[in-house]
């Protein structure tokens, strides 16, 4: 084990970043010293967040230090691990992603449907610019991707760059914990198959002590109301879908719920100003003000566990996004899939899926996979025809006419 690791954060000026410091501080004494290097492009905001992070590190952990810089090469020098959490265009762009699809009769969301495509359209070129610097300055660093739409970003990195990247999301962990609660079980006692890709995954098998638990879960379908999926639909599917599947299974209902309501991003913009104002006044003691309002469980649930598994070689079972390479045989080998893996110092090793994947679940995943791969190729190659083909495949768009309408709103005129 190394005496020290350098962990660089792209988008380090996020108001959520102090929660990352808290999550890492909880593992004090169980890992090497971590030098957390925060990179951001807005000097004042970065300095404000970095000061709060430094206070948290000093108060909570003796083996964690925080640096910050707006210089990307400086941030990457000596980096062992990277966390990408940038938001290209900021919350204002997210608000547009969450609202413009409504005008076309499609629910708005920042990671799926037309909103997710537009997010990728902005984000992927910038991420690939970062990747070029990583290739030159820190070629051996392991890149943890948290930036949405995560699997599209990761596919772009694996196809068009030479970086070691692992996609991470806390949604599968939340799903398994909820399933365990329904069964009155410890999550560690469940043997679970999880298949799909980022925000498009399914729990297809749950065993406890060798016994299939799906009948018990279907009998308790009413308890899964938080998914936004009708209990009778859940029982018919006989799988537990990601909460994001509500956009695909009930799009008209989701659109109706959104009409006349502000985008989530608008609420986050107001919260961001409130939190930054609190950060500027905070001198320590307790939690940084306003942090609990943001909701930052992904750091504790997936970012810190993956980093620690890599650093300490703990061979931990975690659900992450990786290159398929035959794990799901019904998808191309180069596709990005979200599956259970054993994570150690050599990276994630996908585990075989023990049970069958229902035919309709396979079909949904295949369709989403084709959309994602075509979308990334269209964005990188600046190919409007491929973009049209991709969006026409997207289940939330559903037709070439709608795909054309989406592109008229967002596709750059110069491309």
Q: Is 206 a domain residue?
A: no
- The answer as to whether 137 is a domain residue is yes
Residue 48's alpha-carbon distances to 277, 307, 314, 400, in angstroms, are 9, 25, 35, 46
Tokens 């098998």 correspond to what residue?
205
pLDDT in tens, 185-231: 999 999 999 999 999 999 999 999 999 999 999 999 999 999 999 99
Model confidence over 64-109: pLDDT tens digits?
999 999 999 999 999 999 999 999 999 999 999 999 999 999 999 9
Q: Residue 1's pLDDT band (boundaries 50, 70, 90)?
A: low
Quick: pLDDT tens for 3-17. Answer: 899 999 999 999 999
Provide DSSP, 371-383: HHHHHHHHHHHT-
* pLDDT, tens only, 289-322: 999 999 899 999 999 999 999 999 999 999 999 9
Query: Rounded distance, CA 168 to CA 264, Å?
Result: 22
**Domain assignment present for 347:** no
HEC states along 143-200? EEECCCCHHHHHHHHHHHCCCEEEECCCHHHHHHHHHHHHCCCCHHHEEEEEEEECCE
Specify if 277 maps to a domain: yes
Domain assignment present for residue 72? The answer is: yes
**Are the CB atoms for 356 and 194 separated by under 8 Å?**
no
For 407, the token pair is 């592109």
Cis peptide before 149 (omega within 30 of 0): yes
**Domain range holding 66?**
4-167+264-296
158 lies in some domain: yes
- Which tens digit of pLDDT belongs to each residue from 139-154? 999 999 999 999 999 9
Rg (CA), the chain: 21
**Does residue 173 lie within any of the structural domains?**
no
Structurally, the chain folds into a number of domains equal to 1
| Mean pLDDT score across all residues of the chain | 96
The model's pTM is 0.96
Question: What CATH number should be reported for the domain holding residue 106?
Answer: 3.40.50.720
Let me know the angle formed at the C-alpha of 368 by 82 and 224, rounded to the nearest 5 degrees.
85
**pLDDT score at 415:** 45
Partners of 108 in beta bridges = none
Distance of CA 216 to the CA centre of its chain: 30
Identify whether 316 is part of a domain: no
């Amino acid at each position: 084990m190394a005496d020290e690791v350098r962990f660089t954060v792209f988008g380090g000026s996020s108001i959520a970043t102090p929660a990352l410091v808290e999550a890492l501080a909880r593992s004090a004494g169980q890992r090497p010293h971590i030098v957390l290097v925060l990179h951001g492009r807005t000097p004042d905001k970065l300095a404000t967040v970095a000061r709060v992070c430094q206070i948290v590190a000093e108060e909570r952990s003796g083996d964690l230090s925080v640096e910050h810089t707006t210089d990307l090469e400086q941030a990457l020098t000596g980096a062992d691990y990277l966390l990408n959490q940038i938001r290209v265009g900021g919350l204002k762009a997210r608000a547009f992603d969450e609202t413009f699809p409504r005008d076309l009769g499609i629910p708005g969301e920042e990671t799926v449907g037309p909103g997710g495509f537009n997010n990728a359209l902005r984000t992927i070129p910038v991420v690939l610019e970062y990747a070029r610097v990583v290739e030159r300055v820190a070629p051996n660093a392991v890149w943890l991707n948290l930036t949405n739409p995560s699997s599209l970003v990761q596919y772009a990195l694996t196809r068009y760059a030479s970086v070691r990247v692992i996609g991470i999301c806390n949604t599968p962990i939340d799903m398994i914990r909820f399933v365990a609660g329904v069964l009155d079980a410890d999550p560690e006692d469940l043997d679970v198959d999880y298949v799909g890709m980022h925000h498009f995954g399914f729990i297809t098998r749950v065993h406890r002590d060798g016994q299939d638990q799906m009948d018990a879960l279907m009998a308790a379908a009413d308890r899964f109301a938080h998914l936004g999926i009708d209990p009778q639909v859940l029982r018919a599917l006989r799988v537990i879908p990601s909460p994001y599947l509500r956009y695909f299974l009930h799009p008209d209902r989701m659109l109706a719920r959104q009409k006349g309501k502000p985008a989530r991003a608008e609420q986050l913009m107001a919260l961001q100003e409130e939190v930054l104002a609190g950060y500027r006044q905070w001198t320590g003691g307790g939690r940084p003000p306003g942090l609990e309002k943001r909701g930052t469980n992904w750091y504790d649930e997936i970012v810190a566990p993956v980093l620690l598994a890599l650093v300490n070689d703990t061979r931990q079972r975690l659900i992450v996004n990786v290159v398929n390479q035959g794990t799901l045989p019904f998808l191309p080998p180069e596709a990005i899939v979200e599956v259970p893996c054993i994570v150690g110092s050599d990276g994630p090793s996908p585990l075989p899926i023990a049970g069958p994947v229902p035919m309709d679940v396979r079909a949904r995943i295949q369709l989403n996979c084709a959309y994602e791969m075509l979308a990334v190729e269209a964005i990188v190659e600046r190919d409007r025809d491929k973009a049209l083909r991709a969006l026409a495949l997207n289940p939330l768009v559903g037709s070439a006419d709608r795909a054309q309408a989406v592109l008229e709103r967002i596709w750059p005129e110069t491309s």
